[in-house]
Chain A
Amino acid sequence: MSRSTAPPMSGVTRSAASDPRTTSASGLAPVIRVDGVSRWFGSVVAVSDVTFDVSPGITGLLGPNGAGKTTLLRMITGLAAVSSGTITVFGEPVRDNPPLYRRIGVMSEHEAVYGFLTGRDFVRMMGRLRGVEDLDAAVDRAIDFVDLADAQHRPMKTYSRGMRQRMRLAATLVHDPELLILDEPLNGADPRQRVHFQSLLRKLAAEGRTIVISSHILEEVELLADTVLLIVNGKLAASGGFRAIRAALDERPYHVRVVCDAPRELASAVVMLDSVDAVNIDPDGAIVVLSRNVRDLQIELPRLAQAAAIRLRRVEPLDDSLESVFGYLVER
């Protein structure tokens, strides 16, 4: 398919190795094409020169809060304008293109609904607006899919949060869209609902749909997504298969801080371990162990401490947060 969009505005050429375009297995054109997209609000840059493609399957948009995930999704769904760059969905520009919404289902991060409507009425209205034929059957299907058939005749203001989210998902599905965009759909869901939701999404993906789901929880995306896009500070920090990213994480050492009774003695013992790259001593007497193999360290450290009769008071990983992980990736 020939690209009708302009080349990236940043002027930076991307080598093939670091090109974040995902190549879909079947070689078909990608469903969403984001090219050199930026968005700023006055002097605040929310999204900075992001380029990627999305293909069928589940794609996770991952990033800390405030990273720009929602702004990016709003631009992809055409709700917000881009400041520069282009976005095409199914080969067409998405902004100011209402007919495209027949094929897209969007669940925004706002949980607001028309409280006075019953669940069924809400789904029905969404279906009507999107031009669904055979409306009642489609509504029944959507409501059954989210398992809310018995609550559908109650006004939505009486629903619990989880039920509201599920009914909103039904409204998103009623017109059978090929592309689903879900912004933090599992916000506030309890563990049981999470599992249920995840199985729903996997079912949808198995039917050949494209799903883009945003979250700030690593484990969730790990369970669901085939492809992951990591956004940090408005920039695309990493993309690709989740395992590949995890492997990239393993290349850099973990920092573990140990507070104990005899730091230098422990340090000299610990530095002998194979799993340890280096040991630093903090000004306040703690030692910071750099290790690539945390599992081994986990076993060896207490053994060493016991053998040397040193009391370990605190052992804590310093860089297990998402931010620091992304930080490493962004620096590369």
Chain B
Amino acid sequence: MGAIYLLTLRQLTGRWRLLILTVLAALPVIITALVVRSPEAPSVSDFESFVFSTLLAGSISPLVVLAIAAAAFANEIEDRTLANLTLSPLPRSRIVVPKLLAAITIAGPPVAISALLTGHLAFLGDVRATLAVTASALVGVALYSAAFTWLGLVSSQAIGIGLLYIVLWEGFFSGFVDGVRLLSIRHYSIALMHGLDPRRFAGGHHLGFGVTIALSAIVFCGFVWLSVRRLRRMDVP
């Protein structure tokens, strides 16, 4: 299992990719730093809505994870090297899990550090709020990774479908259709943030904390289970 984890780490990293990741992750930090310094600092909810909800959880996090997690399996299928892994006596779950963990390992730190710094700047050193933001961002990364790893395994058009999901589902519909929020990873992130630090993030229209934790666990395990099932049943190229 460790062998697959390390192999995937090597497959998914590359100089340019890491550079772009860093740039993307730096954006919210930069914008926060500038905004906080200006005399007309917006209210917490405006700021939160813009930076965290839209920028971080809604755009940067899923895009970064899409590029990396979908590639975990999609690249192997495209390159036709997946058989090297499936023709081993490992149970399929011990192929899926290390790849997923590798994707989280690469996408996680940039997003987490970005969230950490952004939160630190925005909330002027409030530890609890900062940790809330960081933890929820990480959970978002984990959930997106599970979903996009599965997508990369299932479809050759994974990126197109993933982009549609991010732009239409997360970006558009979940904004005003309440039912969609139940199935929106971005909103899980936001709800977790609210739940972890209710004093700072009070109010607002979001899911309950307990419900979110349960849904997150179900979604994560569900996608992992789906990936394992798919790997067992598919025709490996």
Contact = CB atoms under 8 A, between A and B. Distances in A.
A100 interface: yes
Contacts of B232: 96
B7 interface: yes
B157 interface: no
Interface stretch (A1-9, A127-135, A240-248, A298-306): A127-135
Contacts of B7: 114, 117, 125
A125 to B, nearest CB: 5
B83 A130 contact: no
Interface in A77-135: 77, 79-81, 96, 98-102, 104, 106, 108, 110, 112-114, 116-117, 125-126, 128-131
B39 interface: no
Interface string B67-84: 000000000000111011
Given A98-B90, A100-B89, A101-B89, A129 B3 contact: yes
Interface in B204-221: none
Contacts of B11: 114, 116
Contacts of A81: 233, 235
Contacts of B233: 81, 96
Given A110-B237, A114-B11, A116-B10, A98 B83 contact: no
B87 A79 contact: yes
Given A106-B83, A112-B80, A130 B236 contact: no
B155 interface: no
Contacts of B84: 113-114, 126, 129, 171
B160 interface: no
B40 to A, nearest CB: 51
Contact of A79 (B81, B83, B89): B83
Nearest to B6: A125
B89 A99 contact: yes
A108 B88 contact: no
A129 B235 contact: no
A129 B83 contact: no
Nearest to A105: B87
Contacts of B237: 110
A156 to B, nearest CB: 11
The 6 closest A-B pairs by CB, nearest first: A129-B88, A110-B80, A80-B235, A79-B236, A112-B80, A101-B89
Interface of A: 74, 77, 79-81, 96, 98-102, 104, 106, 108, 110, 112-114, 116-117, 125-126, 128-131, 171
5 contacts: A74-B235, A79-B83, A104-B87, A129-B4, A129-B89
